[in-house]
Amino acid sequence: MDDYLTRIGAARPAAADLAALRTLQRAHLGTVPFENLSIGLGEPVRLDDEGLLDKIVTRRRGGFCYEVNGAFALLLRELGYEVTMHSARTWNGERFGFPFDHLALRVVLDGVPWLVDVGYGRFAHHPLRLDTTEPQQDPGGEYSVVPHGDELDIMGPGGPEYRFDTRVSAMGDFKPTCWYQQTSPDSFFTTRLTCSRLTEDGRITLAGDKLIRTTAEGRDERQLTEAEAMESYRTDFGIALNRLPAPRFPA
């Protein structure tokens, strides 16, 4: 776990408190990309502890929600946090998707539940309280939590983000949907490539061969050649590839 902390550029906290959790989450979002390149490269996605840590820490890669939130949960538990995994159903613009479509984390500090998510791409930079409906200000925008039966609707700056199931899940519960996300032509992750992380002044994303930089001043897009895309993966995301990934199915 010391290697994990070095990977994200964070010191081992003196206490497992909210301030340290905020620092760790922000550090993770700025260094470990949200990416689905393994699917585009034909690599297996492993959800066991050894596989998660090997990819995120040793191979210095990123991953999608099951991988990066799964690995982050291991780090947080090692540091003394009370962490549970939860299913979430992501909003597709019209409705919420199916259970276990997304893996999110809940951390309880002094009896207060917090939503922690480093595997959702553009999202809150810091933990969000789950026990209040009051608006919560975050560097990523304004968020709020709306109860919906046994679930919680997480609302972001642009509307619904996902519906969070308050029941605790285990990593094994996510394996069927993880397999679906890797193999179905209806999955976002088999039809599009994405690699994205926070920067000091915004976000950088490589979507296929399009490099997108967003800051408070605006958005810049640039089409890359194959050689430029390989270099961007290396310099902008710290990912050294031998070949470019390709979508498994046409969009």
Active-site residue, selected from the candidate residues 102, 126, 178, 195? 102
Selecting among 65, 101, 165, 195, the annotated active-site residue is 65
Q: Is 117 a catalytic residue?
A: yes
Question: What does the DSSP 8-state code read for residue 171?
Answer: G
Half-sphere exposure of 94 (CA within 13 A, CB side): 0
Tell me whether residue 126 is one of the annotated catalytic residues: no
**Which of 117, 126, 178, 195 does the annotation list as catalytic?**
117
pTM above 0.75, yes or no: yes
| 49 labelled catalytic | no
End-to-end CA distance of the chain: 38
- pLDDT in single tens digits along all 251 residues of the chain: 999 999 999 999 999 999 999 999 999 999 999 999 999 999 999 999 999 999 999 999 999 999 999 999 999 999 999 999 999 999 999 999 999 999 999 999 999 999 999 999 899 999 999 999 999 999 999 999 999 998 999 999 999 999 999 999 999 999 999 999 999 999 999 999 999 999 999 999 999 999 999 998 899 999 999 999 999 999 999 999 999 999 999 87
Quickly list DSSP for 184-201.
-TTSHHHH---EEEEETT
Annotate 62-131 with DSSP letters as a single string. Answer: -B-HHHHHHHHHHHHHHTT-EEEEEEEEEB-SSSB--TTSEEEEEEEETTEEEEE-SSSSS--SS-EESS
